[in-house]
Structure 1
Amino acid sequence: MDTPKNKLLVPYDFTHIAEYALEHALGIAQTIDYDVYIFHVINKDTRARIRRDNLPENYVDLELQKIVDKASEESKVFVKYIAREGSIFTDIASVAKEIGARFVIMGTHGKKGMQHVTGSWALKVISASEVPFIVVQEKHFKHGYKSIIFPIDDSTESKQKVKWAIHIAKIFNSIVHVITSNESDSEIAARVYRNTQQIKKFFDENNIEYILKVNDEKGGNFAKAVIKYAEYVEADLIMIMTEPDAVLPVFNWGKWDEQILFNTAKIPVMCVNPRDFSIMVVGL
């Protein structure tokens, strides 16, 4: 029976990367008292494996129930699974909406993603959803998201990224590392400055601890600079946008997407979209 609590959705393909995603989901759920839903898409690959290995028709259900039982027992979190025929490119978003998930925790093998979600396809899966994604590689949850990277350039983006940064920071008592691009063009530099001042105002109003860092190099590859700084401060999470809506400044999905999302440091990335989840923060 479903419970009325908030939910996290974990796409699950029985790989070790999916285990990392589940570990993050359980860690978050323990911290903020959420339920966890594991979702497996039964597709032609699943059916082919069942036939090839002469597995029982209910193999997926049996295996998912084992995973649910183990996760529930070890974490004391309510865990449930969903398995259905479909396509990962549409059904992850539809199931997230169906169960009312607050966000999705998805594992990816760098550019080789779960159930063949690779490169631009992974971006399409994420962008198709109305809820944020936390994309996880081979990195343990450990102490949670204590150190958050918040990149700022001259582009515009949704107030939702700011809201989610404040929300996550309050949950984990995080320090937000605000890194800004360093522009040689005076007009672009002025926009970056205005964006930064506005973000600082919201963080100050909500008592969020933050550190401001200006990229050392003018111009150049900002995504590479973000990842380098994230490694330096041992960041636990990087925040980017999936779609801009020109309300507040910051990071534009599409410019740096794969470099950040599939970063070689394997730092989890939270991809936020403009949908308003009524997270109440001061000034927004």
Structure 2
Amino acid sequence: MEKDNKLIIIPWDFSKVAENALLHGIKIAKMLHNDICFLHIIDKNKSQKGKDEIKQKLDKIAGQTKANQLINTSVVILEGSIFSTISKYATDQKANMVIMGTHGMKGMQKITGSWALKVIIGSQVPFIVVGDKPRDQKKIQNIVFPIDFRSENKEKVFMAVYMGKYFDSKIHILKSPVTDKSLSRKVNTNLNFAIKYLMQNNIEYDIHTVKEKGRFAKETLKFAQRNKADLILIMTTKNINISDYILGASEQYIIANSSKIPVMCVNPKTHYTKHGFIGV
């Protein structure tokens, strides 16, 4: 992700949560000097009249945003499925991020945590999933950074450094509790890696250890709520499959949090993790 001349994509469906996502987008776009793209996905059977009406409405919203917020905006309407088209377009445009509301983007079927996770999986662009308007209009002050034993955790560090630098955020590292010695070594390796890079980049941080075993996702949310987090930074599970949507992956649980804390989701980069190292 870069600071200048980059795009923030807002999937737009004329719903309240899309409006909330836009408020987050405006806040971040101003901090990063980014442009905003309103992306609307339509069914291929949509009539031309229907497309024209949607375009007219989108142009109006984009124009108002540009005039009121002094941010460059654009409108894109694409045929396809939200589960692939949003991610593909963001990747093709080398967007900085996608900011997406968690409800109302698939006709009458609301996108909850599981649907949102399905949209995000496989994207090369980070997603911020929101359920409410920003608590603070100008800052992203407290970021919760859960760390467990997975090697992919290291990739989140670069995102944490980016957020810490440009948003002047404090990173609250939350360490997963494990009793297995092998897993404990992996957790500590990830923790030491994070500390090293945060210190090298002068990012403020603190470290907390979850006491209750087997409830890391729940304890992460409790911690975020207690500390009035502005964002939770997570890494999605590598090679996630359909059973996770049925059973409920820990990422899904965090995304759908009842406190509506925004969640930034970063996907593992296979060509990095495969070789045991990471890059930016």
* Equivalent position of 1:114 in the other structure: 105
* Equivalent position of 1:169 in the other structure: 164
* Equivalent position of 2:244 in the other structure: none
Q: CA deviation at 1:105?
A: 0.7
Once residues 91 and 157 of structure 2 are traced to their aligned partners in structure 1, the CA distance between those partners, rounded to angstroms, is: 22
Question: What amino acid is the match of 2:192?
Answer: Q
Q: CA deviation at 1:185?
A: 3.0
Identical aligned residues as a percent: 39
Matched ranges for 1:153-164 at <5 A? 153-157=148-152, 159-164=154-159
Q: Is the 8 A contact 1:175 1:209 kept in 2?
A: yes
Q: Higher strand fraction: Structure 1 or Structure 2?
A: 1
Q: Kindly provide the CA deviation profile for residues 117-155 of structure 1, in whole angstroms up to 9, marking residues without a partner as x.
A: 444332121013211101111132523321100001122
* Equivalent position of 1:208 in the other structure: 203
Question: What amino acid is the match of 1:156?
Answer: S
Question: What amino acid is the match of 1:40?
Answer: H
Matched ranges for 1:21-100 at <5 A? 21-43=21-43, 47=46, 58-100=52-94
Once residues 31 and 112 of structure 2 are traced to their aligned partners in structure 1, the CA distance between those partners, rounded to angstroms, is: 31
Question: What amino acid is the match of 2:251?
Answer: D
Q: Is the 8 A contact 2:113 2:255 kept in 1?
A: no
Question: What amino acid is the match of 1:73?
Answer: A
Q: CA deviation at 1:273?
A: 2.1
Q: Is the 8 A contact 1:158 1:273 kept in 2?
A: no
Once residues 189 and 104 of structure 1 are traced to their aligned partners in structure 2, the CA distance between those partners, rounded to angstroms, is: 34
**Count of matched residue positions in the alignment of Structure 1 and Structure 2:** 257
**Match status 1:123 vs 2:117:** yes
* Greater mean alpha carbon deviation, residues 131-140 or residues 224-233: 131-140
Structure 1 pair 121–18 and aligned structure 2 pair: CA distance change class (3 A): same
* Greater mean alpha carbon deviation, residues 198-207 or residues 182-191: 182-191
Q: CA deviation at 1:87?
A: 1.5
Question: What amino acid is the match of 2:86?
Answer: I
1:144 aligns with one of 127, 136, 139: 139
Question: What amino acid is the match of 2:34?
Answer: Y
Once residues 168 and 193 of structure 1 are traced to their aligned partners in structure 2, the CA distance between those partners, rounded to angstroms, is: 23
Q: Kindly provide the CA deviation profile for residues 226-284 of structure 1, in whole angstroms up to 9, marking residues without a partner as x.
A: 00000111000101112549xxxxxxxx85111111111111111112459xxxxxx97
Question: What amino acid is the match of 2:105?
Answer: M
Structure 1 pair 191–99 and aligned structure 2 pair: CA distance change class (3 A): closer
Question: What amino acid is the match of 1:58?
Answer: D
Q: Is the 8 A contact 1:8 1:25 kept in 2?
A: yes
* Equivalent position of 1:228 in the other structure: 222
3-state SS of the aligned residue for 1:135?
strand
Once residues 5 and 164 of structure 1 are traced to their aligned partners in structure 2, the CA distance between those partners, rounded to angstroms, is: 18
Q: Is the 8 A contact 1:11 1:92 kept in 2?
A: yes
Question: What amino acid is the match of 2:68?
Answer: E
Q: Is the 8 A contact 2:154 2:193 kept in 1?
A: no
Q: Is the 8 A contact 2:170 2:205 kept in 1?
A: yes
Once residues 274 and 223 of structure 1 are traced to their aligned partners in structure 2, the CA distance between those partners, rounded to angstroms, is: 18
3-state SS of the aligned residue for 2:176?
strand
Unaligned runs of 5+ in 1: 246-253, 277-282
Once residues 67 and 224 of structure 1 are traced to their aligned partners in structure 2, the CA distance between those partners, rounded to angstroms, is: 38
TM-score (norm 2): 0.84
Q: CA deviation at 1:66?
A: 1.0
